[in-house]
Structure 1
Amino acid sequence: MHPYRSILFVPGHRPAWAQKAIAAGADCIVLDLEDSVPAAEKADARDTVAELIGTIRSDHPNIGLFVRVNPLATRLTGSDLEAVVVPGLDGIFAPKIETEIDVVRYDALLDHFEMRNGVDGLEYIVPIETVKAIWNCREIAAASPRVGAMIGPTAEHADIAREVGFEWTPEGEESLYLRSRVLLACRESGLHALTALWEDLENLDGLRAFATHGRGLGFRGMIAIHPKHVATINDVFSPSARDIEFYQGMVDAYEKAAAEGVGALRYRGLHIDKAHYDKAVGWLQRAEIITSKGA
């Protein structure tokens, strides 16, 4: 999966809001058919979202486009997928997955509608929203090659807070264990690790601190719930010119030393060897992917 820095939600029945999300600079937008759409408007929202996918993709070929469908338990998932699995879509934001069997059930539906609608290569972003999902996140991560990203839960008022019963703090210590399980599952299966969620719309300094802490843990992007949060999230999860210069210098220094038969050396006061070199190469590759897509 592309290493999206910012993933911003747009209610599926509010098409005008999609343009605001794009203007904000979000790497990826999720057109929502679940919680933000009233029950009476869900059917019409499917058609709106299907049309939006084609329009947005034509005008903005590089932006990530996902749809959050209704959970399997609602029995609306199939109708959602039937409508929105259209050319231009990148994947499905798949809510309320709790076991690897849930992933297989999504796969069965998606296989059918991909073939029927002439679409392929769709991926999942999987939010970890329940206690059961926390325990099973390793199996969920490995359940299908479609699983491209998972989200470490942090929300103050959403499902995971209710289920676990934690009292939210800006520092996030109460969700550190939960997020860490998801992060390790992502690393083991090669998924894009995302963190969430900052709900205080006006506190951009708090958002920056929270996102920076998530990056420090190992997450590489973040869910956003308002366009005004996108710029801060993008900045935090973007490779800086200083970091690029540092890691490129490390790669150059190690390769020069290795060509001379030296496997360990001093670089800017640091002892480095192949492990440092491998990290630097991986870091630069991710930086190149982000910048090459016009981020």
Structure 2
Amino acid sequence: MHPYRSILFVPAHKPDWARKALSSGADCLVIDLEDSVPADLKESARKTARDTLAELRAQSPDVGLFVRPNALDTRMAGADLEAVVCPELTGLFTPKIRNATDVVRWETLIDWFEARNDAEGLEMMVPVEMVDAITNAVEIAGASPRVGAMIGPTSAHADIARAVGYRQSREGSETLYLRSRILLACRQYGLHALTGLWEDLGDLEGLREFADYGLQLGFRGQILIHPSHVPVVHEVYTPSDEEMGYHEELVATVEKAVAEGHGAVRFRGTHVDIAHMEKAKDWLAHARKVRGEG
């Protein structure tokens, strides 16, 4: 999956919001048919979502376009996918997954509607919203090659907070264990690791601190619910020129040392060796993708 820094949600029945979301410069948009759409608007929202996908893709060939359908047990998921699976779609944000069996159920639906609606290569983003999903994170991550990303759960009020029963603090330490399980599952299967919501729309400094903590843990991007959050998250998750220079110099220094018969060398006052070099190479590969350099 592309290393999206920002994944911005938009209610499916509000196409004007989708246009504003695209203008925000978010890497990826999720057109939501689930929680943000009232029950009596679900059916009409499907057609609106399909029209919106076509419009957004015409304006931007590169933005990630996902749809969050309704959960499998609502019996609306099939109708959702029939309406929105199309060539313009990048993938599905698949809600309420509890285990690997749920992943396969979604995969079967996606297989069917890809063939039916002339789409291909759809990916799955899996939010971890249920206690079962936290417990089964590793099997979920490896259940299908369509799974490209998982979301480490954070929210003050949404499904995961209700399921676990925690009270969210500003620093989010109460979700550290939950997020860490998802992060390790992502690393095991090479998935894009995303962290969850910052819900205080006006507190941009709090958002910056929260995003930076996610980056420290090892997450590579974040779910967003307001366009004003996009620039802050991009600043945090985009490697700087200074960071690029540091890692490039580290690689060159160790490679030179190895060529001279040394396995370790002093670099900017610290000990580095081949392991440090390999980590730096991995970091640079990701950073160049994020920066659009490779």
TM range (shorter): over 0.9
Contact 1:96 1:130 in 2 (8 A): yes
How much does 1:144 deviate?
Answer: 0.3
Q: Structure 2 matches for 1:45-194, cutoff 5 A? A: 45-194=45-194
Classify the secondary structure of the residue corresponding to 2:25.
coil
Match of 1:233 in 2: 233
How much does 1:192 deviate?
Answer: 0.5
Residues 27-54 of structure 1 show CA distances to partners (whole Å, capped at 9, x for unaligned) of: 1000000011111111111111112112
One-letter identity of the residue aligned with 1:142: G
Q: Structure 2 matches for 1:181-260, cutoff 5 A? A: 181-260=181-260
**How many Å separate the matches in 1 of 2:275 and 2:81?**
44
**How many Å separate the matches in 2 of 1:62 and 1:141?**
25
How much does 1:115 deviate?
Answer: 1.0
Residues 224-264 of structure 1 show CA distances to partners (whole Å, capped at 9, x for unaligned) of: 01111111111111101110010011111122222222221
Contact 1:62 1:293 in 2 (8 A): no
**How many Å separate the matches in 1 of 2:101 and 2:249?**
46
Classify the secondary structure of the residue corresponding to 1:230.
helix
Query: Is 2:27 the partner of 1:27?
Result: yes
One-letter identity of the residue aligned with 2:19: Q
Match of 2:5 in 1: 5
Query: Is 2:286 the partner of 1:280?
Result: no
Classify the secondary structure of the residue corresponding to 2:151.
strand
Residues 118-150 of structure 1 show CA distances to partners (whole Å, capped at 9, x for unaligned) of: 111111110000111110111100000000000
Query: How many residue pairs end up in the alignment?
Result: 294
How much does 1:104 deviate?
Answer: 0.3
Gaps of 5+ in 1: none
* Identity rate, percent: 58
Classify the secondary structure of the residue corresponding to 1:242.
helix
TM-score by length of 2: 0.98
One-letter identity of the residue aligned with 2:46: R
Residues 5-37 of structure 1 show CA distances to partners (whole Å, capped at 9, x for unaligned) of: 010000001011111111111110000000111
TM-score by length of 1: 0.97
**How many Å separate the matches in 2 of 1:25 and 1:97?**
29
One-letter identity of the residue aligned with 1:44: S
Match of 2:291 in 1: 291
One-letter identity of the residue aligned with 2:118: G
**How many Å separate the matches in 1 of 2:38 and 2:143?**
31
Contact 1:12 1:49 in 2 (8 A): yes
How much does 1:292 deviate?
Answer: 1.3
Classify the secondary structure of the residue corresponding to 1:17.
helix
Residues 37-76 of structure 1 show CA distances to partners (whole Å, capped at 9, x for unaligned) of: 1111111111111121122112111111100000000011
How much does 1:209 deviate?
Answer: 0.5
Gaps of 5+ in 2: none
Contact 1:150 1:182 in 2 (8 A): yes
Note closer, same or farther for the CA distance 1:11–1:293 as it changes in structure 2 (3 Å cut): farther
One-letter identity of the residue aligned with 2:111: D
**How many Å separate the matches in 1 of 2:260 and 2:118?**
53
**How many Å separate the matches in 1 of 2:27 and 2:119?**
22
**How many Å separate the matches in 2 of 1:274 and 1:54?**
48
Classify the secondary structure of the residue corresponding to 1:52.
helix
Classify the secondary structure of the residue corresponding to 2:181.
helix
**How many Å separate the matches in 1 of 2:62 and 2:104?**
29
